[in-house]
Structure formats: C-alpha cells, structure tokens
Structure 1
Amino acid sequence: MKGQWSGQFKGTNNGRANLNIDERRNEYSGVAYFFDDNVQLSALVVHFEIKKKDLENGNGVCKSSWINPLQPGSFTETSWENVKAFYPNTTFPKTIEIKFEYNDFSLSISAKTDVNTEVIGTLSRSELSQPSNLSAREMTWEQYKSFILLNENEYVYRGQNEPWKLQTSFHRRGRYDLTRYQQEDIPQLHRALSARTHHVFDLSNSLENGAFLNLAQHHGYPTPLLDWTHSPYVAAFFAFRNITKEQGESDDKKCARIYVFNADEWRKSFIQNQNMLTGQQHLSVIDLLAIENSRMVPQQATTTVTNVADIESFIQTFEQMTGKEFLQVIDIPWSERVNVVRELKLMGLTAGSLFPGLDGTCEELKEKMFD
C-alpha cells in the first residue's frame, strides 16, 4: 500500500487527491491532499494512520481528526483561523473517515467528513520499479563532447551509471510522507550532525535549512533533493564513477546515462517552490549555500527539490502540456570508460578534486593503484 498515489475524486465535491503513504512496522501512515475543482472551496490536508491488523484483504477504515486547510497560493498546511477570510461561507470539517480498498494495481478510497461531505475515487501509484522509459540518444565519448561544444543553452547535467528512473534518494528508499520526515528525521539528524559541524544550522532559516539538507545529501543521507551540476564533464565523471576497467571492457551492452535538463527554461515556465511540505506537486531548481560543504564548488553543483516520486513522468507531463522539451537523455557505452576517465583526469576531474578530504583522496588513489 505504500507509495505515492494520485487520481480524481467525485461526490459532494469533485477534484484531485494525492496520497503519500509510508509503511511502518505495524501500520501504514501518511498524508492525503484533496484539491477541489471549485476554487471557492479550500484544499485540505489529512494525516492518517491505519494498523496493518485492521486491513483485511486490502480493505480497512481509519478515522482522523488531524485535518487542516492549505494556504492559498503556497498550498502549505495552516489553520482554519488563518484562511477563514478566503472562504467566508465554508464550514470546515473536524474529523474524517477514510475507507481503503487496495490491490496491486489501484487504491480506491471513500472519505466522509463530520460536515456530511463525501467523496470516492480510484488512485494510481507512481511506478518506480521499472527502468526509465525515456528515449535516449546513444553517443560515443567524442560525440558527447561535440554535443557539449555545439550546445548554446544553459543546461544542468546529472550522470548515473545506468538508466535508472530519476528520483530522489528519499523516494528511492521507499519513503513518501515528507511531514513525517520533517517532524521525525530532521530533528534527529540535526542533533547528530551539530556535534560534528563547526556551524550550528538554524533550520528556521530557509537558506540554512536548504544548506543543511544539501550537506546531509552529499554525505549519503536520503533527502528530497536531487543533485545536478552545471558542468557536463562533472556529470560524465559521476556517470562512469564506480564502473571498473574490467566492467567497461567486458560489457559492451550497458550504458552510462547523462540527463540534460533545461533548468533555466523550467524556472521561467513554472512557479518554483522550495517548501518540501507544500501539498502542490512540484519540481523546483534551487541554488543552495555551501555551508560546511566543500564539495559543492568543485562539483559546480546545483539542486532540485521535489515532493514528486516519479520525476521523469512529471516532467514529461509538462512537456506535453507546453510543447517544450525540458529533458534530454544521452547514453554513453560502458566500453568508452577508458577514454572518459583518461580525459577527465587530464582536466583535473578526479575523486580527489571533487571530494576534498580523505574519502576523495583514497578513492582517487584506489583508481590509480588498482585499476
């Protein structure tokens, strides 16, 4: 049942629902966002929990009193008192009962509030287990370099060993409820890292909060951030990182993948929202401060923050809506690994330069001595 689910609902109200559900030891917990087609009515957020023992053959019912409106514009959770001026004729519900009917392919919900509003809907889950379905252009290393030189746009790049779907490390670890992440994970992480950093991050400051998440991301902690670089050559380093010389010589079918994202045009086309707790699904490009993070500058790093599990499908939807191309995909065969690594070394792009410190130095010397 865990995952990110979305679809239409109908009943006394019509609109769209997004559910983010985590699996815990004894229960499923999550957050549901209901966006009404009638803009005169408030969007709602509901936090819920249902015990696994209460789900019988995928069917179960839970009741929640943690139900709040979303702030118009930002779609962040707020109180009824803060938004009642926008909705003067609305009676706000205090409790909601949600019935779930789940199978491997769909999640049907019916929800009824204490103010006699009732909706039903069947939702579909973001499919993340399958490989990327984007159409890629296969290039040699020489063709990739020519592509870079002929390109006149300001793109950002991301390199991966294989054609995995674009998703954040947070979603890749099977987590979806960012409210739980903010309330449970981040305070523990902040306490632990504050003992090891010279700077104590003020998480109430949006700039420092972003820098803190980025620092954690660069040291392996799952976040809703996705790393990109302004350098197509740094992206190539990450695309071929951890591919051994033996693998490059023995596997002529596999390809390293480089995503090319027109972040500048994306920013111009869509409102950017750095708040990961907004109910509105978004992908936002942000430039973060490099506090305590010596890796950001040599990696020429930039970042996207998102509450979307399937980033590729999300971008494709907006490409179809606008007729614009935001994302390109380039595959370079693993067999090009020797040429790529050699040239990147000549450019000074090594683990030692991109990961200042002991880890990067050891990785670079391992590459040198054991390749």
Structure 2
Amino acid sequence: MSNEVDREWQKENTENGIRTVTFGSWMQFQEYINTQFIHDSEYVFRGHRCDNWLLEPTLSRLIKAQPHLASLPSEKLNDLAERHYFDFQYAIRGRSREQSQEMVGDYLWALGQHYGLATPLLDWTNSPFLAAFFAFVENGEPQTEYRVIYAIAKEMVEQRCKQFRSKGNNEAEFVYFFSPLSQENPRLVNQGGLFSRCPLHIDLETWVRKYHDEAWEVPVLLKLRIPNLERDVCLRSLSRMNINHLTAFPDLFGASQFCNMATSLKGYSHHLGRPRPARLRLGRTS
C-alpha cells in the first residue's frame, strides 16, 4: 500500500501500527480505495456502524456483559470458551447437515457464527466495498458521527504470531485467519468472507498497539472513517456496483431486506427488472 495520501483527506499520524484516515465524503473513500489498494491484496476488511465499537468477537462481548465473568483471567476465559464449544458440538446433533464429528475446531466455530453462536471469531471480507455495505446498511441509536471500515494486514499479523510461536509465547495471544469449507454458509462465498480467531481478553486494535513491530514500514491496521450523513449516497452507489442485500445474502432473507431498503431509498430497486410482477389487490381475498 502506498504511503502517500492526498492532502484533501484528513489523516492522523500513524501510531503503534495503526493509521486513521477521516474522509469528508463517500466519493473520497472510493478514490482512496481505488488508488491506495488497487494493487494491494494483503489487507482484508470489516465494517462497523459506529467508529467507537471495539474489534472484539461476540464471545468477548457476551463475557464482558456478565459481571461474574468479566474479571476472569485469560486462562479461565479459554476454559470457558472450550466448554461453550463442546456445548454447541453436542447441541447441534441431529440439527445440522454437517456431521458434528467432522466439523471440529475453527470450522465448528464458523458454523456456529453463521447461526448466531457467540464465538471467538471476527468476520472479514476481501472487498473494501462490501465492508462499507456492512458499515452503512443498518441504522440504530446511538449513532456516532462516522462509520468505519477497518483494514488489517493479515499476513503481517500472522508473521508476528509465528515469531511468538518460535519464542514459545502463550498461544492465547495468537491471532490467525482462515476460510472454512462448510457447505451450510453460501453467504460466506458471496461475501468473499474469512474469519480471524482472536484472543478473548484483548480487542484487536489494542493487540496491534501492543505487539506491532517497529520494523514494519506500512500500518498493520487502518481505520477508514466515513461521515454517517453519507449513508444514502453510499448505499445507492454500492447497489450500482451490485453490492446489496441480494448479493450479500443469496436467500429469502436477503430478498426481504433488499425490498425493505428499497422503500426508503428512491431508485434502489432499479435492477430487479421490468416488467414488474402483476400487482396484488390490497385487502381481503375471497
């Protein structure tokens, strides 16, 4: 990734392996991606609705929400995660097309993540624009002034963890990435998705600050902030790129959510085709 950044973008100084770039518009973000990342495949991306949300997995959030668990030391957290894992392995017997004895380790965690299980995984995508879709698609309160797309250099992170392993470091500190082969998650294919397995006791941004290597010439983690006010233009632009609920969620859920979005964004459903299906009369049917 180039270290040159156009002056019109407000860029904070890179600190401890993390660079924050704040854009004034969606168009500036697009230009930045198309110039800074066009030849770079090392980074993977993740979108957050609020720019103050931590890069931490759902299992960490579940633990922090329970006072009797939040103060547990890291080794006890790992024991808790192991019990949670085996509970799920037994709970899915007879309920999954996948054979639970074949779905082991991170692949079982990934299956659970797809169906709402709290896990030590974070979702990522190879597409910065799909990450932007996930950052902007939901509305809610409270809402920060900016939405954020994170970009992380996964090979640099994994190389750092190889150094830890060679020195005999505690594996509870490791971060690594993987792509599961499960047949039960077609969304993962459409989303260019992969996962990171993260420690439960530390969020990923803090991890990068703690373990970054001074020899690295490019940032390990980027925080790309886009104004929340740009939501409508962002979602219309992404839909023109064929990035919307229909493509991100190739199922009835995606179709339903796409139609819901089309009620609030004029012209959003332009590519559903013509002629439209015959209209149904409103009211009771005889």
Q: Is 2:51 the counterpart of 1:160?
A: no
Mapped to 2, the partners of 1:285 and 1:311 lie a distance apart of 13
Secondary structure in 1 matching 2:97: coil
Mapped to 2, the partners of 1:146 and 1:225 lie a distance apart of 30
Alignment of 1:150-299 (within 5 A): 150=35, 151=37, 152-154=39-41, 155-163=43-51, 164-174=53-63, 177-183=77-83, 185-202=84-101, 208-243=104-139, 254-271=145-162, 279-299=171-191
The aligned counterpart of 2:32 is: 147
Q: Which amino acid aligns with 1:216?
A: G
Superimposed CA distance per residue, residues 59-112 of structure 1 (whole angstroms, 9 cap, x where no aligned partner)? xxxxxxxxxxxxxxxxxxxxxxxxxxxxxxxxxxxxxxxxxxxxxxxxxxxxxx
Tell me by how many angstroms 1:333 deviates: 0.6
Superimposed CA distance per residue, residues 136-155 of structure 1 (whole angstroms, 9 cap, x where no aligned partner)? 21112111111211123221
Distance 1:268 1:187, change over 3 A: closer
Tell me by how many angstroms 1:156 deviates: 0.3
The aligned counterpart of 2:211 is: 318
The aligned counterpart of 1:32 is: none
Tell me by how many angstroms 1:349 deviates: 1.4
Tell me by how many angstroms 1:218 deviates: 2.2
Q: Which amino acid aligns with 2:78?
A: L
Mapped to 1, the partners of 2:87 and 2:145 lie a distance apart of 40
Distance 1:315 1:341, change over 3 A: same
Tell me by how many angstroms 1:302 deviates: 1.3
The aligned counterpart of 2:14 is: none
Secondary structure in 1 matching 2:134: helix
Q: Select between 222-231 and 346-355 the one with higher mean Cα deviation.
A: 346-355
Mapped to 2, the partners of 1:302 and 1:194 lie a distance apart of 25
Superimposed CA distance per residue, residues 294-326 of structure 1 (whole angstroms, 9 cap, x where no aligned partner)? 111011011110224222111112225444420
Q: Which amino acid aligns with 2:204?
A: I
Where does structure 1 differ by over 3 angstroms across 4 or more consecutive aligned residues? Answer: 320-324
Please report the TM-score for the alignment, with normalisation by the length of structure 1: 0.55
- Given that residues 272 and 284 in structure 1 are in contact (C-alpha distance below 8 angstroms), is that contact kept between their aligned partners in structure 2? no
Secondary structure in 2 matching 1:304: strand
Structure 2 residue runs without a partner (length 5+): 1-17, 65-73, 165-169, 266-286
- Given that residues 146 and 225 in structure 2 are in contact (C-alpha distance below 8 angstroms), is that contact kept between their aligned partners in structure 1? yes
The aligned counterpart of 1:136 is: 20
1:339 to 226, 229, 233: 233
Q: Which amino acid aligns with 1:363?
A: Q
Tell me by how many angstroms 1:370 deviates: 4.6
- Given that residues 234 and 349 in structure 1 are in contact (C-alpha distance below 8 angstroms), is that contact kept between their aligned partners in structure 2? yes
Mapped to 1, the partners of 2:247 and 2:90 lie a distance apart of 30
The aligned counterpart of 1:366 is: 260
Q: Percent identity?
A: 24
Distance 1:221 1:228, change over 3 A: same
More helix by share: 2
Greater RCO structure (CA 8 Å; 6+ sep)? 2
Mapped to 1, the partners of 2:127 and 2:19 lie a distance apart of 22
Mapped to 1, the partners of 2:163 and 2:101 lie a distance apart of 23
Tell me by how many angstroms 1:365 deviates: 1.4
Mapped to 2, the partners of 1:268 and 1:181 lie a distance apart of 25
Superimposed CA distance per residue, residues 273-293 of structure 1 (whole angstroms, 9 cap, x where no aligned partner)? 9xxxx6441111222223311
CA RMSD, 1 decimal: 2.6
Superimposed CA distance per residue, residues 247-280 of structure 1 (whole angstroms, 9 cap, x where no aligned partner)? 9xxx8x611101011112323343299xxxx644
Mapped to 2, the partners of 1:216 and 1:316 lie a distance apart of 29
The aligned counterpart of 2:279 is: none
Count of paired positions: 225
- Given that residues 157 and 175 in structure 2 are in contact (C-alpha distance below 8 angstroms), is that contact kept between their aligned partners in structure 1? no
Structure 1 residue runs without a partner (length 5+): 1-133
Q: Which amino acid aligns with 1:180?
A: L
More strand by share: 1
